């Protein structure tokens, strides 16, 4: 294709991507470099139904001129990125000097909000992604070998977790694991411990969130692998059977290599999705035991009354960087494999 | 009989008609747009305003949403603003004032003073910024039958009595977790801490500045009290807010509770619970540290405010309409929906807790510009202490560090 033709061909996609992806990211980045102007406090008396007291208020006159001159706020450079709510370099250096052992140092670092969120986010991604891949493949192979009559209904039922809205699905599960819910009460009976609570223990909460994550994402990988299974070449499969390969060997040496590109695709999607884990933490009310980068952003925008846009912007940028780092190994592998097969073709 | 009913209906209709006729609705043909939270008392007030002045306005629209707090600043920022009035509370007024989005009401209050009493006016630095119409507070709920069964004959008035009563109920084998509190991580946990902190005489900031002072002896004492209390709460307490605690109460699974007064009428009514629970539930003042001390509570009001970025005529029409709803008739028809600050209110059992808490000298929720940031830091950082992973000093030091970081970003600290 000529360069000129290629340019006109790609132009609509490119402009849409710039408009809807690149520009918003740039704007978030610019916002993350700014903080609010100084708020001048004036002491005043506040009175209401419950009496009067000394209080303070923002002197609007004093801050208005500043706001109009620099509507974005005060330029803060990358300092938001390294403050205590984010990378916390100063705090970590301080803890490193003060800690007497590596254990206490790590415990103190874990106490910082960003690292606490990162720890859960990474664990969640690392656990959920492989499970979704392996179980998705297992379910796909299983469904594929069912008699034709049962296939349709089984596929439909297997897709249910994805059809249910994530927020609703996790809320239902949240009520089921309650001490009075069907799962929670059964567990209490089985372990003969009336105070057993999935919501009160950090470990059990983490397990519950990950089990939910696997349950929710499984249909996606299942349906992708199932589609792939329909294209496994019959000739190769028959040749393997004639050569005396067992079912397991056929799966290992014919089916899985054939599905490898799909596995890369599912891995990429899952890494991105899982790194942004959000809904289950909110609907399970699990913030006491588990936070994620997305929850931190949500909190900055919602919970302190007047939103902290700079802080939320900085965490968003770091989420994007985190996803990019996670995806790099997969992308490099794909690129190398692509080059190798291209070389073979020549 | 028929005649009598007919006569009464006629009289009521006549009264309503004359009230509507008499209501002073300010400039005609204006657009009135109200943003408000979503609970019965607010519906009652806005309904009355619409009945009185809706016909005379060119537009009377209302948006009742539980998300009012999160959209109000964005909605009032453009000129003209999306809404002419926001019905708000202590903390949300601060949130709007921080961005200078509500207007002083001094002139309007003077002009439409018929239904307004001086104690309804929320003044800051001499300017009336809101007109309150109802009060709310968290306070003690108690089941007298269960207390009596455990050998306790009076409703606990101090934290020590509360703990002793909880222990007695547990020791008597009646309930393992007799206490319910709104302790959901985040805003609710922060608020419950605030109650106990103010009960201990704590101060959030150095007066007149944004420098935090929660890591104080009062702060540590408050945290220790809180931890002693949660030992009697359900193990899932960090996931429980008002809906969950009300549910536990109505299911008869709790005997002592620190809950919102506004839940009182819902708990005491004959829906969702058994007579055993409703008949023996007593609403009392929030507990204090010492007998007769300051109740551990924050007093809240709900009131009306008027947007800055709307025309003066719209502002006046909106104010007049809302104030026209603050009548004794409206209160009488919705008496148990709120602790009204208006004429015509007869305090019933559902209002007893809030009234006793206010009488005891409880502090209002602080109207300080940076309190939202502090509240958020408390809600996020105290969890580690309650889970037993940190000392009280460390948890409060974390609160101050988290607050300081956010307050610097918001421009309150340099």
**Residues of chain B numbered 115-134 and touching chain A (CB < 8 Å):** 119-126, 132
In this complex, do A285 and B238 lie within 8 Å of one another by their Cβ atoms?
yes
- Contact residues on chain A for B398, CB-CB shorter than 8 A: 111
What does the pLDDT look like over A219-241, one tens digit per residue? 999 999 999 999 998 898 899 99
- Provide the pairing of β-strand B127-143 with B298-306: antiparallel
Distance from CA of A310 to the nearest CA of B (A): 7
Q: What is the pLDDT of residue A346?
A: 61
Do A158 and A101 fall into the same domain? no
Radius of gyration of chain A (CA): 27
Radius of gyration of chain B (CA): 23
At A177, which CATH number? Answer: 1.10.3720.10
- Contact residues on chain B for A47, CB-CB shorter than 8 A: 121-123
In this complex, do A84 and B176 lie within 8 Å of one another by their Cβ atoms?
no
Please tell me the distance from the alpha carbon of residue A205 to that of residue B81, in angstroms, as a whole number: 44
Residue A287 pLDDT greater than 50, yes or no = yes
Of A113, A197, A305, nearest to B236 by CB-CB distance is A197
A51 located within any domain: no
Nearest CA in chain B to A58: B98
Q: What is the pLDDT of residue B181?
A: 96
A24 located within any domain: no
B137 part of contact set with chain A, CB < 8 Å: no
Distance from CA of A30 to the nearest CA of B (A): 15
In this complex, do B299 and A50 lie within 8 Å of one another by their Cβ atoms?
yes
Distance from CA of B41 to the nearest CA of A (A): 18
- Rounded mean pLDDT of A68-95? 90
- Rounded mean pLDDT of A293-302? 92
What does the pLDDT look like over A233-264, one tens digit per residue? 889 889 999 998 898 898 889 999 999 999 99
A181 located within any domain: yes
Do A98 and A120 fall into the same domain? no
Do A155 and A264 fall into the same domain? yes
**Residues of chain B numbered 287-316 and touching chain A (CB < 8 Å):** 299, 301
- Contact residues on chain A for B187, CB-CB shorter than 8 A: 303
- B109 alpha-carbon distance from chain centroid: 23
Residue A100's domain comprises: 79-111
Comma-separated ranges of CATH 3.40.190.10 domains in chain B: 24-136+299-354, 139-298+355-409
Q: Which residue has the higher pLDDT, B411 or A305?
A: B411
Burial of residue B267 (CB within 10 Å: 0-12, 13-18, 19+) is buried
Number of domains in chain A: 2
Distance from CA of A222 to the nearest CA of B (A): 33
Residue the block writes with tokens 């009060």: B135
Q: What is the pLDDT of residue A331?
A: 87
pTM for the model: 0.89
| Run of H or E residues at A267 | helix A256-275
Tokens encoding B254 = 């709790």
A197 part of contact set with chain B, CB < 8 Å: yes
Per-10-residue mean pLDDT, chain B, length 414? 40 42 82 92 94 93 91 93 95 91 95 90 92 95 96 95 96 95 94 96 92 96 96 92 93 95 89 91 95 94 95 96 94 91 90 92 91 94 92 95 94 90
- B292 vs B160, B258, B284, B288, CA distance in Å? 13, 18, 13, 7
Among A111, A131, A160, identify where a domain stops.
Answer: A111
What does the pLDDT look like over A320-337, one tens digit per residue? 999 999 999 888 988 888
In this complex, do B358 and A202 lie within 8 Å of one another by their Cβ atoms?
no
Q: What is the pLDDT of residue B27?
A: 92
Nearest CA in chain B to A44: B125
Pick one of 3.40.190.10, 3.40.50.970, 3.40.50.300, 3.40.50.720 as the CATH number of B139-298+355-409.
Answer: 3.40.190.10
Distance from CA of A158 to the nearest CA of B (A): 31
- A65 vs A60, A89, B97, B103, B359, CA distance in Å? 9, 34, 17, 19, 44
Please tell me the distance from the alpha carbon of residue A168 to that of residue A314, in angstroms, as a whole number: 30
Give residue A1's pLDDT band: very low, low, confident or very high (50, 70, 90).
Answer: low
A11 part of contact set with chain B, CB < 8 Å: no
ipTM of the complex: 0.88
Distance from CA of B6 to the nearest CA of A (A): 41
Residue the block writes with tokens 């060997």: A249
A43 located within any domain: no
Determine phi and psi for B255, rounding to 5 degrees. -120, -20
Burial of residue A187 (CB within 10 Å: 0-12, 13-18, 19+) is middle
Q: Which CATH class is domain B24-136+299-354?
A: alpha beta
Do A275 and A288 fall into the same domain? yes
């Amino acid at each position: 294709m000529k360069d000129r033709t290629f340019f006109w061909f790609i132009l609509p996609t490119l402009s849409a991507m710039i408009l809807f992806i690149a520009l918003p990211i740039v704007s978030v980045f610019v916002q993350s470099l700014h903080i609010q102007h100084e708020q001048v406090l004036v002491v005043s008396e506040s009175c209401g139904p419950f009496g009067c007291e000394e209080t303070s208020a923002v002197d609007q006159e004093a801050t208005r001129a500043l706001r109009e001159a620099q509507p974005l706020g005060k330029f803060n450079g990358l300092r938001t990125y390294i403050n205590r709510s984010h990378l916390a370099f100063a705090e970590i250096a301080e803890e490193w000097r003060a800690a007497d052992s590596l254990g206490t140092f790590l415990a103190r670092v874990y106490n910082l909000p960003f690292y606490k969120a990162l720890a859960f986010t990474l664990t969640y991604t690392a656990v959920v992604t492989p499970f979704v891949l392996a179980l998705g493949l297992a379910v796909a192979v299983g469904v594929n070998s069912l008699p034709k009559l049962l296939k349709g209904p089984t596929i439909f039922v297997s897709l249910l977790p994805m059809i249910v809205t994530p927020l609703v699905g996790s809320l239902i599960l949240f009520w089921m694991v309650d001490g009075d819910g069907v799962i929670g009460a059964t567990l209490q009976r089985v372990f003969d411990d009336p105070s057993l609570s999935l919501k009160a223990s950090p470990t059990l909460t983490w397990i519950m969130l990950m089990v939910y994550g696997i349950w929710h994402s499984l249909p996606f990988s299942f349906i992708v692998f199932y589609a792939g299974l329909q294209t496994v070449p019959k000739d190769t499969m028959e040749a393997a059977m004639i050569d005396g390969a067992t079912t397991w060997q056929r799966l290992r040496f014919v089916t899985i290599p054939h599905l490898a590109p799909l596995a890369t695709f599912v891995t990429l999607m899952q890494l991105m999705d899982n790194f942004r884990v959000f809904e289950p933490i909110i609907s399970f009310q699990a913030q006491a035991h588990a936070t994620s980068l997305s929850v931190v952003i949500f909190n900055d925008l919602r919970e302190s009354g007047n939103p902290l846009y700079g802080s939320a912007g900085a965490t968003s940028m770091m989420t994007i960087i985190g996803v990019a780092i996670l995806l790099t190994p997969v992308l490099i592998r794909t690129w190398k494999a692509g080059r190798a097969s291209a070389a073979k073709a020549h | 009989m028929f005649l009598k009913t007919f006569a009464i209906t006629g009289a009521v209709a006549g009264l309503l008609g004359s009230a509507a006729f008499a209501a002073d609705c300010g400039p005609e043909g204006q657009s009135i747009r109200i943003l408000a939270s979503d609970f019965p008392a607010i519906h009652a007030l806005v309904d009355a305003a619409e009945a009185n002045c809706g016909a005379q306005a060119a537009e009377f629209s209302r948006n009742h949403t539980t998300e009012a707090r999160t959209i109000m600043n964005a909605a009032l920022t453009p000129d003209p603003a999306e809404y002419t009035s926001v019905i708000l509370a202590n903390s949300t007024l601060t949130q709007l004032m921080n961005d200078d989005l509500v207007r002083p009401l001094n002139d309007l209050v003077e002009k439409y003073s018929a239904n307004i009493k001086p104690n309804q006016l929320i003044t800051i630095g001499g300017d009336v910024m809101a007109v309150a119409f109802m009060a709310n507070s968290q306070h003690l709920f108690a089941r007298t039958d269960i207390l009596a069964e455990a050998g306790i004959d009076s409703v606990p008035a101090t934290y020590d009595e509360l703990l002793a009563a909880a222990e007695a109920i547990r020791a008597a084998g009646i309930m393992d977790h007799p206490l319910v509190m709104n302790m959901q991580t985040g805003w609710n946990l922060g608020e419950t801490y605030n109650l106990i902190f103010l009960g201990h005489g704590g101060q959030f900031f150095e007066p007149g500045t944004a420098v935090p002072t929660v890591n104080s002896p009062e702060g540590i004492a408050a945290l220790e009290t809180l931890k002693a209390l949660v030992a009697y709460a359900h193990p899932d307490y960090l996931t429980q807010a008002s809906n969950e605690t009300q549910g536990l109460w109505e299911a008869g699974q709790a005997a002592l509770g620190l809950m919102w007064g506004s839940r009182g009428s819902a708990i005491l009514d004959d829906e969702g619970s058994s007579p055993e629970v409703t008949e023996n539930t007593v609403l009392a003042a929030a507990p204090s540290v010492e007998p007769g001390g300051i109740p551990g509570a924050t007093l809240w009001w709900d009131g009306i405010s008027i947007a800055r970025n709307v025309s003066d005529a719209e502002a006046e029409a909106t104010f007049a309409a809302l104030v026209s709803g603050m009548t004794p008739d409206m209160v009488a028809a919705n008496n148990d929906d709120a602790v009204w600050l208006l004429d015509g209110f007869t305090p019933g059992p559902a209002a007893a807790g809030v009234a006793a808490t206010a009488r005891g000298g409880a502090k209002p929720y602080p109207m300080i510009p940076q309190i939202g940031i502090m509240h958020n830091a408390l809600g996020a950082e105290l969890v580690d202490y309650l889970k037993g992973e940190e000392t009280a000093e460390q948890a409060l030091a974390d609160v101050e560090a988290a607050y300081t970081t956010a307050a610097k970003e918001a421009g309150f600290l340099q």
